[in-house]
Amino acid sequence: MQKQFVKEVLLESEAGKSLMLEGWVRTKRVSKNVAFITLNDGSTIKNIQIVVDGNSDAFKQMDNIHTGTALRVSGKLVESQGAGQQIELQADDIIVLGDADPDKYPLQPKKHSMEFLREIAHLRFRTNTFNAVFRIRHGLTFGIHKFFNDRGFYNIHTPIITGSDAEGAGAMFRVTTLNLNDIPKTDDGSVDVKQDFFGKETNLTVSGQLEAELAALALSKVYTFGPTFRAENSNTSRHLAEFWMIEPEIAFCDIKCNMDIAEEMLKYLVKYVIDNFPDELEFLRKRLQDEEKNKKQEDRSMDLMEKLQFILENDFARITYTEAFDVLRNSKPNKKKRFEFPVEEWGMDFQSEHERYLVEKYYKKPVIVTDYPKDIKAFYMKQNDDNKTVRGMDVLFPGIGEIIGGSQREEDYDKLLNRIKEMGIPEKDVWWYLETRKFGSVVHSGFGLGFERLVLFVTGMSNIRDVIPFPRTPKNAEF
C-alpha cells in the first residue's frame, strides 16, 4: 500500500482511498466499541484522526498504544463524523513500530513549561509548539536564500575557524589541539602557539563579514549565512553563545542603499512566513495569547499577527543616533528614572530598553538608527566628516530591540589604517583586509541579521533558547 504523509492526505485525498501512514501518537481515546488516535508525522502541524473499530484486529493493539508510540497504520479514508476535521482514516491494520512507555515518556498531552521542555530538547520536537517553530525556522532559511538568489546575490561560505579577532564583537572561543594538561610554553612563559594545529592562535568566528567583504569586492553582491560564536556571559532571552547570522555585503552601495535592502529583506521574510505558514502562525498566535493572559495589561505584547503587520505596513523610521539620544534623554521614563540605564551622556551605547522605547512608544514603527559615536562601533565603519560618528546602522524591532547591525564600510586606505592603529588592532592580523583598499577599492556596505532574533520575532516565542534546536548558553551545552 502506498505510504503517504499527513499533509498531502489532509490537503488532497478523498474518502474511499486506501493508504498507509506512519507517525507518532499524540492522543488516544478508547471506549467499548471504538477508539480514536490522533497521529502526527511532522509534515504539518495538523494531526489526522485514526478510527479503530471495536471489532477489528487493530483494536486489540490499543493497550500497546500511548502518547509517543510510533505507528504504521493502513486503512481507508472516510468522511469525518466529528467536528474539526474533514477526513479521517478507518484503520484496517496497525503495527506498533516503537513503544513509548507511558510511565516513562516525559511528554503528555497537556501543557508543559518551556523550561521543562528545554531540559528534554531531544524530545521537544514532538510538541506542537516546536513543530511549528522549527518548520517556520526552515521556511525562513529557505526564504533568505530565495530573497538573495532572486536578486543576484551569491552565497559565500566564510570560515568558521579564524586567525584574527578583528571584529571585536565579543569574547571568542579558542580553537586548539594542544594538550590542556601539558601546555607547551615559550621561554617567556606564554603559550607556544607555533606547536598548535594551525601554528598560530585560532578562534571560532564572531562574524563572516570581513571575508564577505573580500568577495563583494569582486562579485559585487554576496551574502554569508553561517554559525557565529560569542563567548559573552550574557544570560538574556536574546543572547546565544552559538547563533546563525545572515550577512549580505554589497559593492557600490552606500548606507542609504544598505538600509533599503535591510528593510526590503525584513518585509519580504515576514510576508514569506505569513504566506507559507498560516497554520503554524495561527497556532503560535493563540499560544502567545494564552501566555499573555497571565501578564498585566501594560506588559502584554501585541497580537502576533498585529506584530507582523506592524513590520509590513510601516515605513521604517530612519533617525540618527543623536536624534535618538535626544528623544531618549527627554523621554518620560528617563525623567522619571524608570530606565535601568539612565540616558545622560552623548556617546553611551543604547540598551534594549531604550531601543524598545523608540520603537514601541515613540516612533511606533520599526526604527533604523544611523551615525553612531565611533567609540562604540567597530573599526571598519565609514567615518563621517564630523570626526565623531561613523556610518553604522542598527535596525530595531518591537519586543526585540536590535535585530540587525551593519554599516557602510571605510573604503579609504589611510583612514582605515589610522583607525586600526588607534584601536590597537595588530596590522599583521588584517593585512589582507587592508589590501582590498589598495586595489580597486569602492564604496560598499553590509549588515548582519541575527537569525534567531528573526525567528523569535516571527514566532512570538519569548526566549531565544526556544527557537534554535539545541541552544548553547553559559554553562549549557547539553545534547
Which C-beta is closer to ligand 4AD: that of 129 or that of 209?
Answer: 209
> Which residues face 155 on adjacent strands?
223
Q: How far is the CB of 286 from ligand 4AD (least distance, A)?
A: 27
178 to 217: interface string for ligand 4AD, x by CB under 6 A: -----------------------------x-x--------
352 membership: H or E segment, kind and range:
helix 352-356
| 446 is a site residue for Mg ion (CB under 5 A) | no
Q: Residue 405 interacts with Mg ion (CB under 5 A)? A: yes
For residue 321, the Cα-to-chain-centroid distance in whole angstroms is: 26
Q: CB 377 → Mg ion: shortest distance, Å?
A: 8
What the block records as the C-alpha cell of 138 is: 526552515
Q: How far apart are CA 86 and CA 78, in angstroms?
A: 9
Q: Which residues contact 387 (CB under 8 A, 6 or more apart)?
A: none
Alpha helices (H) along 205-303: 209-219, 255-276, 278-293
Residue type (1 letter), 130? F
The interface region with Mg ion, picked from 199-207, 294-302, 333-341, 401-409 by CB under 5 A, is: 401-409
| Residue 365 beta carbon to Mg ion: minimum distance, rounded to whole angstroms | 20
- 195 - beta bridge partners? none
* Residue among 225 and 357 whose Cβ is closer to ligand 4AD: 225
241 and 472 Cβ atoms separated by less than 8 Å? yes
Taking CB under 6 A as the binding criterion, the range among 103-111, 112-120, 135-143, 237-245 that sits at the site for ligand 4AD is: 237-245
Q: Phi and psi at residue 134, in whole multiples of 5°?
A: -80, -25
- Please say which residue, 328 or 381, places its beta carbon nearer to Mg ion: 381
Stretch of 114-122, 131-139, 405-413, 425-433 contacting Mg ion, by CB under 5 A: 405-413
Of 360, 237, 340, the closest CA to residue 299 belongs to: 360
**How many contiguous H segments (helices) and E segments (strands) does the chain have?**
13, 17
Q: Minimum distance from CB of 62 to ligand 4AD (Å)? A: 46
The neighbouring-strand residues paired with 70 are 24, 98
Q: How far is CA 377 from CA 8, 41, 212, 249, 409, in A?
A: 50, 47, 19, 18, 12
The entry of ligand 4AD, Mg ion, none near residue 169 (CB within 5 to 8 angstroms by kind) is: ligand 4AD
Contact 473, 240 (CB under 8 A): yes
Note whether 416 and 380 are within 8 A (CB): yes
From 73-81, 85-93, 359-367, 402-410, span contacting ligand 4AD (CB under 6 A): 402-410
- For ligand 4AD, the closer of residues 139 and 448 by Cβ is 448
Q: Which stretch binds ligand 4AD (CB under 6 A): 96-104, 153-161, 266-274, 396-404?
A: 396-404
What, of Mg ion, ligand 4AD, none, does residue 404 touch, CB below 5 to 8 Å by kind? ligand 4AD
Shortest approach of ligand 4AD to residue 208 CB, angstroms? 7
Residue of the chain from 137, 230, 318, 382 that contacts ligand 4AD (CB under 6 A) = 230
Beta strands (DSSP E) in 233-388 are 242-251, 317-320, 367-373
C-alpha cell at 136: 517556520
Nearer to Mg ion, 68 or 401 (CB): 401
Find the helix or strand (DSSP H, E) in which 71 lies: strand 70-79
DSSP state of 348: P
Only segment of 78-86, 117-125, 188-196, 398-406 that touches ligand 4AD (CB under 6 A): 398-406
Question: Among ligand 4AD, Mg ion, none, what does residue 140 contact (CB within 5–8 Å per kind)?
Answer: none
**245 binding partner (options ligand 4AD, Mg ion, none; Cβ < 5 to 8 Å by kind):** ligand 4AD
- With vertex at residue 159, the alpha carbon angle to CA 418 and CA 122, rounded to the nearest 5 degrees, is 130
Q: Which partner, ligand 4AD, Mg ion, none, binds residue 453 by CB below 5 to 8 Å per kind?
A: ligand 4AD
Min. distance of Cβ 184 from Mg ion in angstroms? 37
- We find the least distance from the C-beta atom of residue 154 to Mg ion, in angstroms, to be 25
Residue 367's nearest CA partner among 400, 326, 407, 338 is 400
Residue spans of alpha helices (H) in 31-127: 114-119
243 binds ligand 4AD (CB under 6 A): yes
Which of 98, 97, 119 shows the shortest CA–CA distance to 107?
119
Nearest distance, CB of residue 169 and Mg ion, angstroms: 7
CA atoms 222, 228, 233, 235: torsion sign:
positive
How many residues of this chain interact with Mg ion, rule: CB under 5 A? 1
Q: Which of 444, 322, 319 is nearest to 386 (CA)?
A: 322
With respect to Mg ion, which residue has the nearer C-beta, 281 or 324? 324
Closest residue to Mg ion, judged by C-beta, is 405
- Residue 396's binding partner among ligand 4AD, Mg ion, none (Cβ under 5 to 8 angstroms by kind) is none
Applying the rule CB under 6 A, the residues between 144 and 183 that interact with ligand 4AD are: 167, 169
Q: Hey, which residues between 244 and 283 contact ligand 4AD (CB under 6 A)?
A: 245, 247
404-463 residues near ligand 4AD, rule: CB under 6 A: 404-406, 446-448, 450, 452-453
Residues that bind Mg ion (CB under 5 A): 405
Residues that bind ligand 4AD (CB under 6 A): 167, 169, 207, 209, 230, 239-240, 243, 245, 247, 402-406, 446-448, 450, 452-453
